[in-house]
Structures are given as C-alpha cells and as structure tokens.
C-alpha cells in the first residue's frame, strides 16, 4: 500500500490510483486509434506499432494454440519498449478470441490503454508509503498511460517494489475476472523488487490461478532471482531500429526535426526513455558542456574554472543534469575506445559530428587507461544515484581529480 506523506487518512494503493485515473483521462488521451481492427495470424504482429515482430509472433502463436505461459519475463536494454509490449499483450488476451480480431475501439482495449482496466494491474517501483504523495502516484500512472515509453521518476527518492505491493497482488489474484478474459499483472522494473517481495511473488508463480498472467519486465536480468526466471518464459528484447523510433516519436511527441533526431537517437543510445527526455532538452549544449568539463580536468590547477561548470550542474534539485554530464562522458570515451581499437566504420561513433575532435583528443592521450576512465565515470554515476550521497558537487569534483590523474598519467 501507498500512503501520502504526512497523512493519517485512508491509504491509497496503486490499484486505487489506477481506478482514479479513469475519471481523469479522456478518450482523446488514448494512443490507439479508434475503429482499427487487426486480424491475428502467424505472420502479422498484434501490435505492429510497438516493434519486435519476432517476439510478437511467438506470443501470438502461443495464444492461438492456447499454450501461452502464465508468466512471461521481458528483458533487454532500457528503453526498448518492454512495458509497451506488455500492455499490448494484456490487450491481446483480453480483447480478441484466438484467431479472431483485435478491436481497437472496444471498451476493454481502451481501458487497458489507459491502465484503468479492473483486471489489469501495472506495478512499478515507488518510494516508501511515508515518502509518496497520492497525487505523485496518480500523475505517474497518467503519464505512463499517455506514453508507455516515458520513464517514471520520483526525483531524489529511493524507489523499490515492496512486499506489501506483492501481497496486494496475491490477494487480488484470488478473485475472479471482473470484465475481461484474464487478469494480467505487469511488474515493470521487476529487478527493483526487494528480496522479501521477490520471495512472496515466487509463491504466486508456483501456484498461479488459471485466469492469471504475470508479465515481468527488466533491464537488469542478472538481478532477477534464478527461481523466478526458471518459472517464466523469457523473451530477450533488442534496441528498436531508428525507423521504428522515428514513428514512435511522431506518435507520442509529434513531428521531430529530421536533421536533429538522428543525433538525439545516437546520443540516447537508442533508448526510447532517454530519447523522450532529450527531446525536451538542449542535448547538444549539454554534450558540449561535458566536453568542456573534460578540457578543464586536463588543467585541474585552474580549479575555479572547473567549479564554474560544476556548481550549476550539481545544484539541480533532481540531479538529472549531473547524470547527463556523466552519460555524455561515457559516450565520449566509448567513441575513444572505438577509435583506439581502429574502428573502420565512422558509423559506429555515437558522437559522429565530433569525429575530428575525438581523433584530436585521442592523439593527446594515446596510452591513457580508457577502460579505467570509463570505470571511474560509472562509479561516479552509481554514487550519484545513491540518495544517501547528499553532495553531488563532491562526487563530480572527485571524479575530475581521478580523471586528471588517468589522462595525464600521474
């Protein structure tokens, strides 16, 4: 259960929040187009707009033969559409008979698209019940319903999936379906389950009701308990191709600048969550700021100039600018590694527009420990993501000193 911070009134659960969104979302908020129908067959994806046709064909074939497993585990890189396809599977099993048609104008389909269907539970990591306001939870669900490719953020708060949430699911699993053909529980970022929550879920996986389907999604499959993985059918997702990304950006954010979008896709690493973040930011300026940070670390004795860059970044309330600085540093040194290894194709470079600058940078540090530099940046990023570290400026300043030593071989 989730209760708003500082409140002694009734608790608001994720289930309650999903029902409340029904009153606050309009039909125009639904992304599927009304009136569309798709025939299910072995050669046609049931949700072509989400991509991953090979995975869809496997799921579709199992559904037609009534052999779809009760538990699916979608894993792969962040931002490749695992949540979106999980929602589409919920629509498939509730809005079409095997071999029939999916009616995108049906009430069932639209309710699932809004995450407000009584037989659908969409679970995701949240702060503790004492550190979460009701309106924060409602807004998170509304945003996910509007765009399933957007990340859910609770800035500067430690998030997890606790045992109380799993207990709610186990209780809900006992009931019959309300409107649809099957209950579907989607657990997004399942790797964020605490150990006791994962163990509680295991009991549900071992003895699931016939009318229940569980879909887990994760970008960190190595954090999923082996006992959970062994009870799910695994589907590995790959990054979406640029053509599909372009279609999704237009679908959820409107037409994008055709000259700017390819660079954004590269800098985001084909991560849809990060792409939608970048569309709202001047990422070129932020990337250039990361390059300037590198230049200042080279001459770290000019500490005042370095602090002039870091202080505005570290003062951000949600640490997002600091994270992006580290992200662009990682991309820069990933390209340096490509050049260091003699990459033949320029297309492999993420900062393709900075190829000359990359080559010049590498010429100054031919024997630098690039792998060690990457390790230091990743360690700083991990420290930055830990809410117990209250001083982002100290993390970034310490990183600058370490990078200076590795770049200048001190």
Residues 6 or more apart in contact with residue 208 via CB below 8 angstroms? 70, 71, 173, 214
In the structure encoding, which two tokens stand for residue 177, read together?
A: 């379906």
161: nearest Cα among 131, 186, 126, 136: 126
Q: Tens of pLDDT along the chain (410 residues)? A: 333 333 334 445 555 555 555 444 433 343 434 334 444 443 467 899 999 999 999 998 898 888 899 999 999 999 999 999 999 999 999 987 766 667 788 899 999 999 999 999 999 999 988 888 888 888 999 999 999 999 998 877 889 999 999 999 999 999 999 988 899 999 999 999 999 999 999 989 998 899 999 999 999 999 999 999 999 999 999 999 999 999 999 999 988 888 889 999 999 999 999 999 999 888 899 999 999 888 888 776 667 777 888 888 887 767 888 899 999 999 999 999 888 877 656 667 889 889 899 989 888 887 788 888 999 999 999 888 877 777 888 899 889 888 888 887 75
- Quick one: how many helices (H) and strands (E) in the chain? 17, 7
What is the helix (H) or strand (E) element at residue 386, kind and residue range? none
Rounded-to-integer distance, Cα 229 and Cα 55, Å: 18
Q: Is 122 helix (H, G, I), strand (E, B) or coil?
A: strand
Looking at residue 407, what is its pLDDT?
Answer: 83
What is the number of other CB atoms lying within 10 angstroms of the CB of residue 174? Answer: 8
Q: Are 19 and 118 in contact (CB under 8 A)?
A: yes
Report the C-alpha gap between 14 and 169 in whole angstroms.
10
Q: How far apart are CA 332 and CA 214, in angstroms?
A: 39
Residue 237's pLDDT is what? 97
- Cα 141–chain centre separation: 14
Q: What count of other Cβ atoms lies within 10 Å of the Cβ of residue 386? A: 10
| Domain layout of the chain by residue ranges | 14-238, 281-407
Q: Assign domain 14-238 to its CATH superfamily.
A: P-loop containing nucleotide triphosphate hydrolases (3.40.50.300)
Reduced to 3 states (helix: H, G, I; strand: E, B; else coil), residue 41 is strand
- 3-state SS assignment for residue 136: helix
10 Å CB burial of residue 6 (0-12, 13-18, 19+) is exposed
Give residues with Cβ within 8 angstroms of 34, minimum separation 6: 27, 104, 105, 110
Which residues share a beta bridge with 184? Answer: 120, 213
pTM of the model: 0.84
Can you read off the two tokens belonging to residue 183? 């209950």
What's the pLDDT score for residue 332?
94
Torsion of CA 19, 20, 24, 30, to 10 degrees: -20
- Three-class SS of residue 234? strand
Strands, sheet with 212-218, edge to edge from the N-terminal-most edge strand: 120-123, 183-187, 212-218, 71-75, 233-236
Q: CB pairs under 8 A, 24+ apart, for 393-398?
A: 393/310, 393/311, 393/314, 393/315, 395/322, 396/310, 396/313, 396/314, 396/322, 396/325, 397/306, 397/307, 397/310
Give residue for tokens 């990183």.
399
Residues 103-116 as b or e (16 or more Cβ within 10 Å = b): bbebebbbbbbbbb
């Amino acid at each position: 259960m989730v209760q708003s911070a500082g409140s002694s009134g009734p608790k608001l659960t994720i289930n309650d929040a999903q029902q409340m969104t029904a009153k606050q979302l309009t039909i125009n908020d639904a992304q599927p187009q009304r009136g569309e129908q798709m025939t299910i067959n072995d050669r046609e994806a049931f949700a072509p707009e989400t991509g991953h046709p090979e995975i869809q064909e496997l799921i579709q074939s199992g559904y037609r033969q009534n052999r779809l497993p009760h538990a699916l585990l979608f894993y792969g890189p962040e931002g490749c559409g695992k949540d979106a396809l999980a929602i589409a599977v919920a629509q498939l099993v509730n809005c079409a008979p095997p071999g029939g048609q999916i009616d995108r104008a049906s009430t069932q389909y639209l309710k699932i698209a809004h995450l407000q269907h009584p037989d659908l539970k969409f679970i995701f990591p949240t702060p503790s019940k004492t550190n979460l306001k009701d309106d924060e939870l409602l807004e998170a669900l509304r945003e996910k319903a509007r765009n399933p490719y957007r990340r859910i953020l609770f800035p500067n708060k430690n998030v997890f999936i606790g045992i109380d949430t799993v207990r709610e699911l186990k209780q809900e699993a006992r009931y019959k379906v309300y409107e649809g053909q099957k209950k579907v529980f989607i657990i997004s970022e399942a790797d964020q389950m605490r150990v006791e929550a994962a163990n509680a879920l295991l009991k549900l996986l071992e003895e699931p009701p016939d009318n229940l389907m569980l879909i887990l999604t994760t970008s960190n499959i190595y954090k999923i308990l082996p006992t959970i993985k062994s009870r799910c059918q695994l589907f590995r997702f790959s990054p979406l191709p640029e053509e599909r990304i372009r279609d999704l950006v237009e679908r959820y954010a409107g037409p994008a600048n055709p000259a700017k979008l390819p660079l954004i896709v590269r800098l985001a690493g084909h991560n849809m969550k990060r792409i939608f973040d970048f569309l709202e930011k001047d990422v070129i300026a932020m990337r250039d700021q990361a390059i300037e940070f590198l230049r200042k670390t080279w001459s770290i004795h000019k500490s005042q100039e370095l602090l002039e860059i870091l202080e505005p970044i570290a003062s951000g309330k949600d640490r997002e600018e600091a994270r992006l600085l580290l992200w662009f540093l990682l991309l820069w040194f990933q390209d340096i590694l490509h050049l260091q290894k003699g990459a033949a194709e320029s297309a492999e470079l993420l900062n393709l527009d900075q190829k000359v600058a990359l080559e010049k940078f590498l010429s100054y540090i031919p024997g630098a420990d690039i792998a060690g530099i990457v390790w230091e940046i990743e360690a700083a990023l991990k420290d930055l993501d830990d809410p117990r570290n209250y001083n982002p400026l100290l993390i970034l300043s310490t990183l600058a000193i370490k990078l200076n030593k590795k770049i200048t071989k001190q």
